[in-house]
């Protein structure tokens, strides 16, 4: 099961930062921790780790940081991304695996339980990221003000944190149904 | 995505004051109470959500509004967007007081799913989770109202059992298991019908849809699975897809022999005894209890998926799905075999064939891991020789695919989760450490934490030395892998071997130069080798220096200090005298055969010096046994510049352990020899050459030399006059203008104070002897330990005893 989906802005790489790391949207599916503050802090901790891995990967690949706001975002299958683990207690009670993907000035992450099907998680994340980038254009703080758009996508592609084995046909059928309902 | 704008929005949202929020909440309430909440209501709700989400501390909302949000959420005529926003706000506020929501009376399955998401986010009581679970099962069991689909229910159930497996009774588990078996195995193989769009021109007689197809376009050959394609899907096909998606979790939760539900009682005993009589062939599967029947159908489903993965998908995305399905299918088979070992034989032969099919295909490499896991778990029982599988996994995969970061991560995780089993089952794991480290060399940041857990399992008396060298050369390995990759991407014409007589100017040339080839091959080896290539690595290391500033190489270099410390802490537990001595010699040798990254060299020197101390404390006799190497190292003045930390600790160790108390073989000649060598070094270091600039030697090196000489003199008392004379000259040294300009006042003062204290101590030779050369058992008493730890203050006490009047007494 996916414990959380996080959409964040990674901020700039240390030491010169172009802004701190911020959680722009987060949805939790797992057992809620004691209290809302702890939940927020857990999500921020994940976001920071993603931002850090994002910057490290950028440094190691030798690619210059992506220019801000290009007209057409780079295709997601070439986007930087990766997997890492967080140990028990830091910040979730159990150990978790995080799969992440970076796009222009924003990054996406799925926090998974151990022994989750990571190949499927990566496929799902790429799908979510692609759909979100399409829905939330033009880019701006749109994602902050449209949690319903993100929720709708999550309900479709990751309902209650359940990863789905969706072929292209199933995906098209899903989206057709969704569009049909919206039209009614 | 306009991070500055986003930052601004967040700031504004956080700064909304309580009274402003109340007013806004009232406005939202008014909007929601209106006849048909529309775009403006949605806008308000979106802003409200942001204000709540942006602040870390919870915001209070008027109880009336909270009530209203719940009402609106459940109202049938409410637009979907408004419902989503109400649910999002209620979730954001969780845990939420005044939540009266209940799913009992909701008939609309989509709404039920949405309301459940709010309830499950509240999180305190199992009872609440259980209530949701009960409602979902009830909906699944019975007939749904017209137009409602079950497909929104299974994900909720999946979430419920993750949060609280006890939420379902045994009977409910059986009911759902039975349905799942049917959905998996008996979904329709005909495509669904398009919903008629209505309108004047629509034809009520829709065409017969036709059968579902495989991913390569062929007509489906067997029962429906997630890899069956169609234009439209029927209800049971949706359920088929969702059932498979949650199958692993369901089996892990409820498939095992122990029931963790409260209602397991005598009934299950009867079931089990029936099970033991009934075979698992599908002919009698209708007689099987629900759990066992589900297991059977799940197994068949997995077999079918594995067969379907043999087809060439027409769309790339479906190809990716095939691979994910393959991984899932093998994992589920593994779980089934753990729960019922009678499946092992069928599974083992099937998976061996699968392995043969995919082992040559790099795109399927990730699937090799669950296969290997299966054979680790069940290979013995299946009496299958799995060595070929492990060999291929450890020998070929890392060498070819180290750069695939997802595979690297999963591979390393596999090693970590199975370290013990792997080291016991097959020697290939430990022998393959050069290959495993390629993953770390290329993908350092995500893997270093996992390697910290794996390294202890790779280390033993046989591999320690080779791993020591490998750790020190890990950034070289990164550079070599980079060269290898770039070389293989060149067109084949440019890859021809170079003239060995011409010295290569760059790494890429060197890779093709026959003289360097074998050294590259050594660095890039797949298995542990006993041959020592260290000498031949020196020129290659220099050549690879051109890559030393690459981001990837530097990230790898950052991991080495922590791995080195771990290495020594593990080795200390099993190393015998010979290995300890070997390591000390290698520490000295390798200290100037390091990859040329300044920060890296400094860090490594620092770690090696502290580990040297550890080894000497572990086995003090090594100082006598390795006197030749230590003499040479400590007698080389340039070492003070290049490797100050190591030099300092070597001199300290000589002073501390070169003594009959630690090794009876220590002779007066040896002590004298060390004395003379160290004295010469100290002389060299404190010489004042007025014409040349004084090279600055670390003050610590000077004080440690002085102290070591004093300690040696205390044991061979003929040397005392020589030391005292030398120490007395330190005042002149410290006060000379050349030195004043190079050393700061604190350092000069420290040198002087230490020289004085040592001189004073030597005036009482028997005290000096006791302090500096305790008998070994005394050395372990608390008093002596304290003295050793607080030597400087002990020296000060002695000094005060000798100098009742303040001031410096020249020797």
pLDDT at position B216 is: 93
How many H helices and E strands in chain B? 44, 0
Asked if the Cβ–Cβ distance from A118 to B409 is below 8 Å, we say yes
- What is the end-to-end Cα distance of chain A in Å, rounded? 33
Selected residue with higher pLDDT from B563 and B790: B563
pLDDT at position B261 is: 46
Per-range mean pLDDT, top range of B181-195, B484-498, B793-807: B181-195
Close Cβ partners of B329 (under 8 Å, ≥ 6 residues apart): B301, B302, B303, B305, B306, B309
CATH number at residue A52: 3.30.450.60
pLDDT at position A66 is: 53
Asked if the Cβ–Cβ distance from A120 to B122 is below 8 Å, we say no
**Range scoring the smallest mean pLDDT among B13-22, B197-206, B347-356:** B197-206
Element of type H or E holding B555: helix B551-574
pLDDT at position A165 is: 97
Q: What is the DSSP letter of B621?
A: T
Is pLDDT at B628 greater than 60 in this prediction?
yes
Confidence (pTM): 0.90
Is pLDDT at B647 greater than 90 in this prediction?
yes
Please give the tally of structural domains in chain A: 1
Q: What is the dihedral angle through the alpha carbons of B616, B620, B622, B624, rounded to the nearest 10 degrees?
A: 130
Is pLDDT at A6 greater than 70 in this prediction?
yes
pLDDT at position B805 is: 53
- Backbone angles phi and psi of B190, in degrees to 5: -95, 145
| Set of chain B residues whose Cβ sits within 8 Å of the Cβ of A52 | 445
Name the pLDDT band for B519 (thresholds 50, 70, 90).
very high
Instruction: With H, G, I as helix, E, B as strand and everything else as coil, classify residue B394.
Output: helix
Whose tokens are 């967040």? That residue is B10
Per-range mean pLDDT, top range of A36-40, A180-184, B457-461: B457-461
Selected residue with higher pLDDT from B772 and B299: B299
**Range scoring the smallest mean pLDDT among A58-62, B520-524, B744-748:** A58-62
Cβ neighbour number for residue B11 with a 10 Å cutoff: 10
| Set of chain A residues whose Cβ sits within 8 Å of the Cβ of B233 | 169-170, 173
Rg of chain B over Cα atoms, rounded to whole angstroms, equals 38
| Set of chain B residues whose Cβ sits within 8 Å of the Cβ of A117 | 248, 324, 327-328, 331
Asked if the Cβ–Cβ distance from B241 to A165 is below 8 Å, we say yes
Selected residue with higher pLDDT from A125 and B380: A125
Asked if the Cβ–Cβ distance from A119 to B366 is below 8 Å, we say yes
The DSSP code sequence of B248-263 is HHHHHHHSSSS--STT
Region A178-182: what's the mean pLDDT? Answer: 68
Name the pLDDT band for B94 (thresholds 50, 70, 90).
confident
Is pLDDT at B305 greater than 60 in this prediction?
yes
Range of the domain at A177: 2-183
> Considering only CA atoms, which of B232, B199, B227, B202 is closest in space to residue B213?
B227
pLDDT at position B97 is: 79
- Backbone angles phi and psi of B595, in degrees to 5: -60, 140
Q: What is the strand order of the sheet A22-28 is part of?
A: A22-28, A2-9, A106-112, A96-103, A81-86
Region B422-437: what's the mean pLDDT? Answer: 92
Region B571-582: what's the mean pLDDT? Answer: 96
Looking at the partner chain, which of A31, A85, A180 has a beta carbon nearest the beta carbon of B449? A85
Asked if the Cβ–Cβ distance from A160 to B5 is below 8 Å, we say no
Per the CB < 8 A criterion, the answer to whether B431 and B528 are in contact is: yes
With vertex at residue A38, the alpha carbon angle to CA A33 and CA A41, rounded to the nearest 5 degrees, is 130
pLDDT at position B202 is: 58
| Set of chain A residues whose Cβ sits within 8 Å of the Cβ of B364 | none
Asked if the Cβ–Cβ distance from A168 to B315 is below 8 Å, we say yes
Report yes or no: B47 at the A interface, CB cutoff 8 Å.
yes
| Set of chain B residues whose Cβ sits within 8 Å of the Cβ of A145 | 9, 46-47, 50
> What is the rounded CA–CA span in Å between residue B642 and residue B655?
21
pLDDT at position B268 is: 45
Q: Using one digit for the tens of pLDDT, what is the confidence trace for B466-509?
A: 999 999 999 999 999 999 999 988 887 776 777 777 777 788 88
The DSSP code sequence of A28-53 is E-S---SSHHHHHHHHHHHHHHHHHH
Name the pLDDT band for A141 (thresholds 50, 70, 90).
confident
> What is the rounded CA–CA span in Å between residue B133 and residue B779?
68
Q: How far is A104 from chain B (nearest CA, A)?
A: 7
Name the pLDDT band for A140 (thresholds 50, 70, 90).
low
Q: Using one digit for the tens of pLDDT, what is the confidence trace for B248-273?
A: 999 999 988 654 444 444 444 444 44
Region B139-167: what's the mean pLDDT? Answer: 91
Q: What is the 3-state secondary structure (H, E, C) of B688-735?
A: CCCCCCCCCCCHHHHHHHHHHHHHHHHHCHHHHHHHHHHHHCHHHHHH
């Amino acid at each position: 099961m996916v414990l959380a989906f996080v959409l964040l802005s990674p901020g700039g790489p240390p030491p010169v930062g172009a802004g701190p790391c911020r959680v722009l949207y987060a949805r939790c599916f797992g057992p809620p921790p004691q209290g809302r503050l702890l939940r927020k802090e857990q999500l921020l901790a994940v976001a920071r780790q993603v931002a850090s891995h994002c910057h490290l990967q950028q440094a190691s690949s030798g690619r210059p940081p992506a220019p801000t706001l290009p007209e057409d975002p780079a295709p997601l299958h070439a986007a930087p991304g990766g997997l890492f683990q967080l140990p028990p207690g830091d910040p979730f009670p159990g150990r978790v695996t995080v799969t992440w993907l970076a796009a222009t000035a924003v990054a996406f992450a799925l926090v998974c339980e151990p022994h989750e099907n990571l190949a499927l998680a990566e496929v799902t994340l790429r799908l979510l990221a692609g759909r979100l980038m399409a829905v939330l254009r033009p880019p701006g703080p749109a994602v902050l003000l449209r949690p319903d758009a993100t929720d709708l996508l999550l309900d479709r592609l990751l309902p209650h944190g359940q990863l789905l084995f969706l072929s292209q046909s199933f995906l098209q059928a899903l989206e057709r149904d969704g569009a049909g309902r919206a039209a009614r | 995505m306009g991070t500055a704008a986003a930052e601004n929005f967040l700031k504004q949202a956080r700064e909304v004051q309580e009274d402003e929020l109340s007013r806004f909440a009232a406005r939202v309430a008014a909007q929601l109470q209106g006849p048909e909440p529309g775009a403006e209501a949605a806008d308000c709700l979106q802003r409200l959500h942001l204000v709540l989400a942006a602040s870390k501390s919870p915001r209070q909302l008027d109880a009336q509004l909270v009530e209203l949000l719940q009402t609106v959420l459940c109202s049938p005529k409410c637009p979907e967007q408004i419902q989503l926003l109400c649910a999002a706000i209620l979730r954001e506020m969780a845990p939420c007081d005044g939540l009266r929501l209940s799913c009992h009376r909701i008939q609309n399955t989509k709404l039920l799913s949405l309301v459940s998401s709010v309830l499950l986010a509240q999180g305190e009581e199992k009872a609440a989770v259980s209530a949701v679970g009960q409602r979902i099962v009830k909906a699944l069991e019975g007939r749904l109202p017209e137009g409602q689909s079950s497909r929104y229910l299974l994900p909720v159930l999946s979430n419920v059992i993750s949060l609280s497996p006890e939420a379902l009774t045994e009977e409910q588990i059986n009911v759902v298991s039975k349905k799942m078996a049917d959905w998996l195995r008996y979904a329709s193989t005909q495509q669904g019908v398009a919903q008629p769009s209505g309108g004047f021109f629509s034809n009520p007689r829709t065409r017969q849809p036709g059968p579902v197809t495989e991913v390569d376009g062929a007509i489906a050959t067997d029962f429906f699975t997630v890899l069956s394609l169609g234009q439209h899907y029927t209800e049971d096909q949706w359920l088929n897809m969702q059932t498979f998606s949650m199958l692993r979790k369901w089996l892990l939760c409820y498939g095992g022999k122990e029931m963790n539900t409260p209602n397991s009682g005598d009934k299950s005993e009867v079931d089990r005894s029936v099970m033991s009589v009934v075979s698992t062939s599908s002919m009698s599967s209708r007689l099987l209890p629900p759990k066992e029947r589900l297991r059977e159908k799940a197994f068949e489903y997995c077999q079918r998926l594995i067969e379907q993965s043999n087809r060439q998908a027409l769309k790339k995305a479906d190809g990716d799905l095939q691979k994910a399905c393959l991984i899932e299918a093998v994992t589920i088979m593994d779980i089934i075999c753990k729960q019922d070992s009678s499946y092992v034989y069928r599974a083992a032969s099937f998976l061996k064939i699968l392995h043969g099919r995919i082992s040559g295909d790099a795109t399927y490499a990730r699937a090799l891991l669950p296969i290997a896991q299966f054979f680790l778990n069940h290979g013995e029982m299946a009496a299958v020789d799995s060595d070929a599988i492990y060999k291929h996994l450890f020998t070929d995969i890392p060498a070819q695919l180290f750069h695939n970061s997802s595979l690297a991560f999963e591979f390393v995780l596999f090693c970590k989760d199975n370290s013990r089993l792997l080291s016991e089952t097959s020697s290939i794991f430990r022998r393959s450490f050069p290959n495993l480290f390629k993953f770390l060399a290329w993908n350092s940041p995500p893997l270093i934490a996992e390697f910290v857990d794996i390294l202890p399992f790779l280390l033993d008396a046989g591999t320690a030395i080779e791993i020591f060298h490998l750790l020190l050369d890990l950034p070289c390995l990164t550079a070599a892998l980079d060269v290898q990759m770039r070389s293989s991407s060149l067109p084949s014409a440019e890859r021809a071997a170079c003239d060995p007589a011409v010295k290569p100017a760059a790494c890429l040339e060197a890779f093709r130069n026959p003289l360097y080839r074998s050294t590259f091959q050594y660095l890039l080896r797949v298995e542990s080798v006993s041959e020592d290539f260290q000498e031949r690595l020196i020129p290659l290391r220099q050549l690879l220096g051109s890559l030393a500033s690459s981001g990837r190489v530097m990230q790898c270099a950052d991991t080495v200090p922590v791995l080195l410390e771990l290495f020594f802490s593990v080795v200390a537990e099993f190393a015998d005298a010979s290995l300890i001595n070997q390591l000390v010699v290698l520490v000295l040798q390798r200290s100037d055969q390091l990859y040329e990254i300044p920060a890296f060299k400094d860090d490594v020197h620092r770690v090696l010096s502290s580990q040297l101390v550890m080894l000497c404390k572990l086995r003090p006799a090594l100082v006598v046994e390795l006197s030749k190497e230590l003499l040479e190292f400590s007698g080389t003045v340039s070492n003070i510049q290049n490797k100050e930390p190591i030099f300092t600790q070597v001199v300290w160790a000589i002073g501390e352990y070169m003594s009959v108390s630690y090794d009876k073989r220590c002779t007066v000649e040896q002590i004298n020899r060390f004395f003379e060598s160290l004295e010469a070094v100290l002389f060299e270091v404190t010489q004042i050459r007025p014409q040349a600039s004084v090279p600055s030697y670390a003050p610590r090196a000077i004080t440690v030399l002085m102290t070591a000489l004093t300690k040696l003199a205390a044991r061979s008392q003929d040397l005392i006059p020589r030391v005292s004379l030398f120490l007395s000259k330190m005042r002149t040294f410290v006060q000379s203008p050349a030195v004043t300009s190079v050393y700061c006042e604190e350092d000069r003062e420290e040198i002087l104070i230490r020289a004085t204290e040592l001189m004073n101590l030597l005036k009482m030779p028997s005290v000096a002897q006791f302090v500096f050369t305790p008998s070994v058992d005394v050395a372990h008493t608390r008093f002596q330990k304290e003295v050793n730890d607080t030597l400087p203050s002990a020296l000060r006490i002695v000094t005060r005893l000798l100098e009742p009047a303040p001031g410096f007494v020249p020797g």
